[in-house]
């Protein structure tokens, strides 16, 4: 062992520290505050629990059996053996730099608006190079370039969206800024605490910019935690098979790794927990408890299933069989009904308010024919995706030995129970969110059900990689082209799209949105006012001024959240007619006599709304070549 560095042990200790820091900092934030004493206490508790866990692992002889030779991760050896590695790194650097240079601050609806076909060609070529290194069995450096490849695949949003992506990013960013200044935000919630805690602690301890940490938290932790764990789960005497299997995982959905939200971060720890439970040894069971607690500290929607699967395994190890069966049944029932019951209560729902959702069991397979041949084939591949997933799960399970099938049947139980939970949630009304967001919670739970099939998917991938040794050189070349095309197509689907089949309406917050909110802020510094605008303009206000002003009835001065009555007034303006009466109602509701209406060019029926607003407003102003318009209104007699 003198020439080896146990990177696996280092990785495990780092994972424990990160998980404990999420748990302790979230707890400190919930019961106290993340001021400097809270930061010190978070680190102290993290260190204390780390020492306790280390002693437990040592007592139980939980030593990692997989040790990586450091030279196998580096570029040592003869030059001719590493031509592909240097070529890959050179092209990767050019591609990543090209993406960064195309960073946009405009109101784009998809990164593919600014990323041309050349990127997909480069990505396909990089993927093919990675496959070629595997076929050559040139083991040194493979894990390094695989890591670079995964990082490139999940970083496109952060490289392209110059201001930030989505709406939640800005809401959480404004909350983090407030916690950074005051130590807490009131009222405190029972979720998001773990993400807020770890970001604030890392920011204050290492002086890393908070916005940078927030933006890169999920992609970096996804790469740092999931990739080595997949490598370890697929371990084999032939490391090229491990790399190949891990690379094929890029055929799976990984959209949750591409941008930072608490839900996405919780998915990471749920997935890590599932993989630890799948490996089923004493060491991993200890680690799974820590990661499950981290998941629930971030977001209970992923944390509760993580804890239930850990509890199931713990009960399964009990020797008293009379106690085991009813306990496991209770856990499965909890996994099925706990979240639907929670959302039922949260919605104040009754059985009379339940409804049958549209296309709840929509399945089908048809060759798309609305665009060019290439796009038709790409979307046909997407349609096949869920069927291929199901086939992989079945094959992965059936091909296992009978004894191993008995041990892994509980993954199917948890998959089915979680899928049923997601289906039940679709019947709930969710009246506290806008119509377009009412399926979000069910979609999240459905994704969790797919996470529970990951062990069986990995068994299928292991079966596929084992079959490649028997293939001829020509067959390997064909497989390289085929899988590289599939991985490139899957990359396309992990990001928002605007094409003949999809129309992402999640426009980015733009520089013109920022100019508009800055103009309003400057001209109304000492005046209470209200602004009716879409979510991305509200996000611009949050990014610049945080939670600046609250009005009558606890209304925020921008329509945040979408459940706010002000957001309904905004929808009335853009869909029901941009008239003064609606603006007067908004001002009366908020208790102010000045209001602004902001309209973006990309909005539906823009010319009609623009003409109506010009006729009803006291004055108006445009920004960025008439991309964004501000309309001013006053309420007479106030």
Averaged over 114-141, what is the pLDDT?
A: 85
Predicted local distance difference test score (pLDDT) of residue 79 = 46
> Residue 414's pLDDT is what?
94
294 closest CA partner among 303, 304, 282, 286 = 303
607: confidence class by pLDDT, cuts 50, 70, 90: very high
Residue 15: what pLDDT?
A: 95
**With bands split at pLDDT 50, 70 and 90, how would you rate the model's confidence at 378?**
confident
- Reported for 309-317, long-range contacts at CB under 8 A and 24+ positions apart, including other chains, are 309/273, 309/274, 309/277, 309/414, 309/452, 310/273, 310/277, 310/285, 312/410, 312/414, 313/277, 313/280, 313/285, 313/288, 314/285, 316/410
Beta strands in 387-457 (DSSP E): none
Q: What percentage of the chain exceeds 70 in pLDDT?
A: 89
Do 551 and 557 contact (CB within 8 A), yes or no?
yes
pLDDT for 141 beyond 80: no
The pLDDT, as a whole number, for residue 368 is 66
> Six-digit token pair at 476?
């390997």
pLDDT, one tens digit per residue, over 314-331 is: 888 776 777 787 888 899
In the chain, the N- to C-terminal Cα span, in Å, equals 80
Q: In terms of Cα–Cα distance, which of 350, 480, 487 is closest to 427?
A: 350
Instruction: Give the tens place of pLDDT for each residue, 269-326.
Output: 999 999 999 987 777 888 999 999 999 999 999 999 999 999 998 888 776 777 787 8
Query: What confidence tens digit (pLDDT) does each residue in 461-489 have?
Result: 988 888 887 778 888 889 999 999 999 99
CB of 537 closer than 8 Å to CB of 517:
yes
pLDDT of the residue at 372: 74
Q: Does residue 363 register a pLDDT over 80?
A: no
Average pLDDT, the chain: 87
Query: Which band of pLDDT confidence, cut at 50, 70 and 90, is reported for residue 364?
Result: low
Mean pLDDT on 184-199: 91
Instruction: Establish how many alpha carbons lie within 13 A of residue 461's alpha carbon, considering only the half-sphere containing its beta carbon.
Output: 26
pLDDT digits (tens, 9 = 90+) for 36-90: 999 999 999 999 999 999 999 888 877 655 544 444 444 444 444 577 788 899 9
What is the predicted pLDDT for the residue at 2?
A: 39
Average pLDDT for 237-260? 87
Distance CA 389, CA 385 (A): 6
Assign 3-class secondary structure to 227-264.
HHHHHHHCCCCCHHHHHHHHHHHHHCCCHHHCCCCHHH
The segment with the largest mean pLDDT, out of 131-145, 176-190, 353-367, is: 176-190
Residue 385 has what pLDDT? 79
Domain ranges for the chain: 319-470, 511-634
Low-confidence winner among 423-427, 540-544, 593-597 (lowest mean pLDDT):
423-427
Q: Is the pLDDT of residue 241 over 90?
A: no
> Per-residue pLDDT averaged across 524-546, rounded?
92
Mean pLDDT within 563-581: 91
State how far the Cα of 294 lies from the Cα of 271, in Å rounded to an integer: 12
pLDDT digits (tens, 9 = 90+) for 527-536: 899 999 999 9
Secondary structure of residue 619 in the 3-state scheme: strand
pLDDT of residue 361: 53
pTM above 0.85, yes or no: yes
């Amino acid at each position: 062992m003198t020439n080896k560095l146990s990177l696996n042990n280092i990785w495990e200790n780092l994972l424990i520290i990160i998980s404990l820091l999420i748990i302790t900092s979230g707890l400190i934030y919930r019961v106290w505050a993340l001021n400097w004493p809270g930061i010190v206490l978070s680190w102290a508790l993290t260190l204390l629990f780390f020492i306790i866990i280390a002693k437990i692992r040592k007592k139980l002889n939980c030593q990692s059996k997989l040790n990586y030779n450091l030279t196998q991760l580096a570029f040592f050896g003869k030059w001719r053996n590493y031509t592909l590695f240097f070529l890959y790194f050179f092209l990767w650097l050019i591609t990543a730099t090209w993406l960064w240079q195309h960073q946009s601050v405009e109101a784009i609806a998809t990164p593919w608006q600014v990323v041309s076909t050349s990127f997909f060609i480069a990505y396909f070529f990089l993927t093919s190079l990675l496959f070629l290194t595997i076929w050559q069995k040139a083991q040194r450096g493979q894990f390094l370039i695989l890591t670079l490849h995964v990082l490139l695949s999940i970083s496109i949003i952060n490289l392209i969206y110059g201001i930030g992506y989505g709406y939640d990013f800005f809401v959480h960013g404004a909350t983090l800024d407030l916690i950074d200044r005051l130590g807490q935000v009131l009222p405190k919630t029972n979720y998001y605490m773990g993400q807020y805690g770890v970001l604030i602690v890392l920011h204050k301890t290492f002086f890393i910019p908070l916005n940078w940490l927030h933006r890169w938290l999920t992609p970096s932790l996804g790469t740092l935690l999931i990739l080595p764990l997949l490598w370890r789960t697929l371990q084999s005497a032939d490391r090229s098979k491990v790399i190949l299997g891990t690379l094929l995982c890029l055929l799976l959905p990984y959209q949750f790794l591409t941008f930072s939200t608490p839900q996405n971060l919780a998915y990471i720890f749920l997935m890590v927990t599932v993989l630890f439970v799948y490996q089923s040894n004493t060491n991993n069971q200890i680690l799974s408890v820590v990661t499950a607690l981290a998941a629930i500290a971030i977001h209970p929607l992923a944390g509760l299933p993580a804890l239930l699967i850990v509890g199931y395994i713990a009960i399964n190890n009990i020797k008293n069989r009379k106690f085991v069966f009813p306990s496991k049944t209770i856990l499965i029932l909890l996994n099925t009904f706990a979240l639907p019951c929670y959302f039922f209560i949260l919605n104040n729902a009754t059985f009379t308010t339940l409804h049958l959702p549209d296309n709840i069991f929509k399945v089908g397979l048809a060759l798309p024919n609305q665009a060019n041949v290439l796009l038709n084939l790409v979307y046909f591949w997407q349609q096949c995706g869920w069927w291929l997933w199901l086939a992989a799960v079945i094959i992965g399970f059936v091909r296992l030995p009978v004894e191993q099938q008995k041990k892994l049947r509980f993954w199917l139980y948890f998959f089915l129970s979680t899928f049923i939970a997601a289906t039940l949630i679709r019947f709930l009304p969710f009246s506290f969110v806008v119509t377009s967001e009412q399926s979000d919670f069910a979609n999240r739970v459905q994704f969790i059900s797919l996470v529970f099939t990951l062990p069986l998917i990995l068994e299928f991938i292991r079966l596929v990689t084992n079959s490649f040794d028997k293939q001829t050189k020509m067959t390997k070349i064909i497989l390289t082209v085929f899988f590289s095309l599939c991985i490139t197509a899957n990359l396309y689907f992990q990001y928002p799209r605007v094409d003949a089949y999809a129309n992402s309406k999640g426009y980015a917050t733009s520089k013109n949105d920022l100019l508009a909110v800055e103009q309003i802020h400057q001209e109304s510094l000492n005046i209470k006012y209200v602004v009716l605008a879409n979510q991305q303009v509200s996000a611009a206000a949050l990014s610049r001024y945080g939670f600046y002003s609250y009005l009558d009835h606890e209304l925020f001065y921008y329509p945040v959240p979408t459940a706010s009555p002000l957001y309904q007034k905004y929808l009335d303006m853009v869909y029901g007619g941009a008239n003064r009466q609606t603006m007067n109602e908004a001002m009366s509701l908020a208790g102010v006599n000045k209001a602004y209406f902001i309209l973006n060019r990309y909005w539906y029926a823009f010319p009609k709304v623009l003409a109506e607003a010009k006729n009803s407003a006291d004055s108006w102003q445009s920004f960025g070549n008439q991309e964004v318009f501000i309309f001013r209104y006053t309420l007479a007699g106030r």
